[in-house]
Structure 1
Amino acid sequence: MNFTSGKIRSLYFKYLTAAFGSALMTSVYSIVDMAMVGQYQGPEGTAALAVVAPIWNIIYSLGLLMGIGGSVILSTLKGKADKKLENENEYFTVAVMGSLFLAAIMWIVIVFFDRELLMFFGAQGQLLSLAETYLIPIKFVIPSFLFVQMLAAFLRNDKNPTLATIGVLSGGIFNMIGDYIFIFVFDMGIYGGGLATAMGSVISCLVMLTHFLSTRNSLSLMKPTKIFYQFNRVVITGFSTFFIDIAMGILTILFNRQIMKYLGTNALSVYGIIVNVSTFVQCCAYSVGQASQPIISVNYGAKLGHRIKETLKYALYSVMFFSLFWTLLSLLVPNIYIYIFMHPTKEILKIAPTIIRCYALSFLLLPFNIFSTYYFQALLKPKSSFIVSVSRGMIISGILIYMLPLIQANYLWLTMPITEFIVAIYAIMLMIRYTRQLPNGHETIDV
């Protein structure tokens, strides 16, 4: 499996299959919990998990910050003809050290300040009580969630995408089975959902760690020569991917507050569902980015621009497929999501189609915008990737969240479609420019 000489189509679709399975099952932790908790405890259970959602966004994004940031640089170094092999694993070591540090911070915050955190995210009354109960078992294994994301990124770049997928699948399958057993059979309710999720994450992490016992492993810990410089590079390179998930958490908080202010608990329950569907759509986009990134990074380091362009072609076809699939499904049968996640009341069935159809218009461009951040990262253009991430994740969307309800409350649901459209115009222009500038075998690339 050679990134610089192997057949691009075979490489890409092998990695896409593995990345899609991994990204899809990552979302299972929250999706399955919400579906089963919603079936057990009704709309309040669904709304409680919508409040918890930003915590997942923060934890996962920190894992991606270290994983994507470190692995992109590692792969680019591998592709260089004049590479210095001793530098590659220094970035892996820095990413591991950074992950340990960030995991410790998150552990302290969630264990000791969970109530304050949930209230900040919009929880109150019964929703706060349910959310706190769900988090009880999660508190014991916070680092495992972060390390699953970090390890998966490095495994894909170390030519073992299959194990990354197996790891996530193992935890995801346990989570699905455990949810049913703990929530319904043992009658644990929302606590059982948290317990299944916690145990599933540990299983995923343990499976991925077996990579370091295999003969194909080329990753190892070594003393970094310029630890602060290298950590800074990892953070800058991985920041855009990190911010995508952080932004999702920020937007969820803002949406939660605005929905409760203008529309009420029923609307929040529907939003909790559509934001989880949006997580699925994002995971599809992640899979395209994660499949393309190792191939593009290595060939960028090797100055093989024609191979990057071919990879880009397959990635854009994949993005187009996912965009059309999720948009059409949401527009044609919006209530299918409602029945999956809860036993709906008449009031919810009445408001859900409009909310889902409006919000789902963003799915047309969401996969492309997220993929563009991976593409820019792989070409070592962190500034461009950062602008795309921050614009769609906080600046444009944040302004619209507060402005649109002032015109009409239900205009809130058009926030993301308008945001994605504006950002896509900018991303398309940058993608065309950088693709035209790709090296063809003679240019020098500073890494």
Structure 2
Amino acid sequence: MNVLEDDLAKVYRHYFWAAFGSALATSIYSVVDVVAVGRYHGPIGLAAMAVIAPVWNIILSLALLSGIGGSILYAVQRGKRAAVLPANRFFAASLIVAAVFSVLIMVALFCFEEPVLRFFGADDNLLPLAARYLQPVRCSVPLFLLGTTIMAFLRNDGNPRLAMCAILAGGVFNVFGDCYFVFTRDMGIFGAGLATVLGEAIAVGVMLTHFLLRRNTLRIELPRAPALFARQVVVVGFPAFFTDVSMGLLTIVFNRQIMRYLGEDALAVYGVVVTIGTFVQCCGYGVGQAAQPLLSANFGAGNTDRIRQTVRYSVATALLLALLWCAAVGLVPNAFMRAFTRPTPALLALAPGILRVYSLAFWFLPLNILSTYCFQSLCRPRAAFAVSLARGFLVPVALLCTLPALWGGAALWAAIPLAEFLVAAAIGLSLLRPSRPAGGVS
């Protein structure tokens, strides 16, 4: 399928369903992992998974940095109809970046595991459980970084369906692996970590079949100045990295403010809010990852009209998904509470008001995530980083600190909707204006 010449609506649908399926599957599988450990170990298992969450956050954020950054530069070069060789130098540079980060993370987990886990909140009770989960994971960090990097390049080499099939294959194994290793084999939290690693190995194995196809154009072509190419990968990919990392930072601030002003019941509801938000955020990722190959290639080719049309399709899709999520949460808030936890009557009384206010953020969240992908795809990393910094940390943290001080703890729930609205209002017009062509290393 030619992203430069074929019917754009058909091409967009092809890329969207593959990217959306991958993003949604990833969010479902992450929830299943937490549920399996929680049912086996109880509340202490859930607490241990909360400690481990920042480790995953770092691994996946760095994977996005290398994968998104390199694949955008690769697609731009291909869109310019440059020879395959210059584009593939960015593929090699991305693999180098992923390998370097893999080594650094493995060194940290092998040499400084206890202080790292204690920094993320583990106490003497949680430390053994968290460390046991990481036993198989720390040996397999390269699988996760290289897998995510390769997946991003598959989408830009015309094979988004294989990327989706790889995620589905690994994810399905992860679900059944959790049941088998955690419960049948009685491995507990170690089994959950093992299932995750084996699932990722299967996903990477499926992705590697792309290199056996005739239509594959990906090759490892080492650049003469690898540091220069790696720097470009990091610069372009940094907004995606920060978007993911900021989620963890923002959650920490929100947790502290909830405990300060509202208490444990409100924090329990917030746990469900975060889970729902993960699904909504993955919808935004799906739309952005569908648009990215089309935007980058047409940006390189100078096809301004196709860029504008792709942005229109993407914005319409993001708004439709936002409408569906807002309607679902607003109409049946307690159904979500029952789906993710065993709520007490007090929680069921508290949740509807919280969920309905917070869900207003879902109107703007997919659009704001999409804007980051658009700016990145059009080689405007500064604009992408500005959006990531504003919506991921600066604006919401400022509101989380000021709103409850002025109007009490209940105002906390309005902080994120207001932050998302302010950011969306600031970037709405810019989202429809394509960037002027920018040069790059070739």
Q: TM-score, normalised by structure 1?
A: 0.91
Distance 1:262 1:129 in 2: 32
What's the offset of the Cα at 1:445? 4.9
Alignment of 1:33-432 (within 5 A): 33-81=33-81, 83-124=82-123, 126-128=125-127, 130-407=129-406, 408-432=408-432
What's the offset of the Cα at 1:392? 0.8
Root-mean-square deviation (Å): 2.3
Distance 1:430 1:128 in 2: 47
What's the offset of the Cα at 1:36? 2.9
Alignment of 1:426-441 (within 5 A): 426-432=426-432, 434-435=433-434
Go from structure 1 to structure 2 and tell me whether the alpha carbon gap of 1:327 and 1:133 turns closer, same or farther (over 3 Å shift).
Answer: farther
Contact 1:359-1:414 at 8 Å conserved across structures: yes
Go from structure 1 to structure 2 and tell me whether the alpha carbon gap of 1:207 and 1:361 turns closer, same or farther (over 3 Å shift).
Answer: same
Distance 2:192 2:266 in 1: 23
Establish whether residue 446 from structure 1 lines up as the match of residue 434 from structure 2: no
Contact 2:84-2:217 at 8 Å conserved across structures: no
Deviates most, 198-207 or 34-43: 34-43
Which residue type is aligned with residue 446 of structure 1? G
Distance 1:190 1:353 in 2: 33
Which secondary structure state, in structure 2, belongs to the residue aligned with residue 330 of structure 1?
A: helix
Distance 2:263 2:122 in 1: 13
Question: Which string of whole-angstrom CA distances, capped at 9 and with x for unpartnered residues, describes residues 329-388 of structure 1?
Answer: 122222333323333344443433333333322111000000001111111111111100
Which residue type is aligned with residue 159 of structure 1? G
Go from structure 1 to structure 2 and tell me whether the alpha carbon gap of 1:115 and 1:403 turns closer, same or farther (over 3 Å shift).
Answer: farther
Distance 1:341 1:112 in 2: 36
- The residue aligned with 2:30 is 30
Distance 1:350 1:128 in 2: 35
What's the offset of the Cα at 1:293? 0.9
Distance 2:31 2:310 in 1: 31
Which residue type is aligned with residue 213 of structure 2? S
Deviates most, 285-294 or 224-233: 224-233
Go from structure 1 to structure 2 and tell me whether the alpha carbon gap of 1:364 and 1:3 turns closer, same or farther (over 3 Å shift).
Answer: same
Contact 1:103-1:146 at 8 Å conserved across structures: yes
What's the offset of the Cα at 1:225? 1.9
Distance 1:338 1:130 in 2: 27
Distance 2:350 2:134 in 1: 30
Go from structure 1 to structure 2 and tell me whether the alpha carbon gap of 1:258 and 1:109 turns closer, same or farther (over 3 Å shift).
Answer: farther
Distance 2:382 2:404 in 1: 32
Distance 1:350 1:34 in 2: 25
Contact 2:96-2:230 at 8 Å conserved across structures: no
- The residue aligned with 2:14 is 14
Distance 1:66 1:6 in 2: 29
Question: Which string of whole-angstrom CA distances, capped at 9 and with x for unpartnered residues, describes residues 204-228 of structure 1?
Answer: 1222122222222211112212222
Distance 1:118 1:176 in 2: 25
Distance 1:167 1:130 in 2: 29
What's the offset of the Cα at 1:130? 4.3
Which residue type is aligned with residue 38 of structure 1? G
Deviates most, 395-404 or 17-26: 395-404
Question: Which string of whole-angstrom CA distances, capped at 9 and with x for unpartnered residues, describes residues 267-322 of structure 1?
Answer: 44433332222121111111111111111111111111111122112111110111
Gaps in structure 1 of 5+ consecutive residues: 439-443
Go from structure 1 to structure 2 and tell me whether the alpha carbon gap of 1:267 and 1:394 turns closer, same or farther (over 3 Å shift).
Answer: same
Distance 2:343 2:42 in 1: 8
Distance 1:309 1:384 in 2: 18
Distance 2:128 2:405 in 1: 31
Contact 1:67-1:150 at 8 Å conserved across structures: yes
Distance 2:15 2:228 in 1: 31
Question: Which string of whole-angstrom CA distances, capped at 9 and with x for unpartnered residues, describes residues 25-69 of structure 1?
Answer: 222342111233334444544344333322222211111111111
Question: Which string of whole-angstrom CA distances, capped at 9 and with x for unpartnered residues, describes residues 70-110 of structure 1?
Answer: 111111111114x2432111111110000000111112223
Gaps in structure 2 of 5+ consecutive residues: none
Go from structure 1 to structure 2 and tell me whether the alpha carbon gap of 1:260 and 1:205 turns closer, same or farther (over 3 Å shift).
Answer: farther
Distance 1:418 1:122 in 2: 29
Go from structure 1 to structure 2 and tell me whether the alpha carbon gap of 1:9 and 1:323 turns closer, same or farther (over 3 Å shift).
Answer: same
Distance 1:43 1:350 in 2: 22
Distance 2:377 2:169 in 1: 29
Which residue type is aligned with residue 56 of structure 1? W
The count of corresponding residues between Structure 1 and Structure 2 is: 439
What's the offset of the Cα at 1:411? 2.8
What's the offset of the Cα at 1:161? 0.8
Distance 1:417 1:128 in 2: 35
Go from structure 1 to structure 2 and tell me whether the alpha carbon gap of 1:399 and 1:127 turns closer, same or farther (over 3 Å shift).
Answer: farther
Deviates most, 140-149 or 40-49: 40-49
Contact 1:75-1:157 at 8 Å conserved across structures: yes
Which secondary structure state, in structure 1, belongs to the residue aligned with residue 140 of structure 2?
A: helix
Which secondary structure state, in structure 1, belongs to the residue aligned with residue 219 of structure 2?
A: coil
Contact 2:8-2:310 at 8 Å conserved across structures: yes
Contact 2:59-2:144 at 8 Å conserved across structures: yes
Distance 2:237 2:29 in 1: 23
Distance 2:362 2:67 in 1: 26
What's the offset of the Cα at 1:264? 4.4
Distance 1:347 1:116 in 2: 37
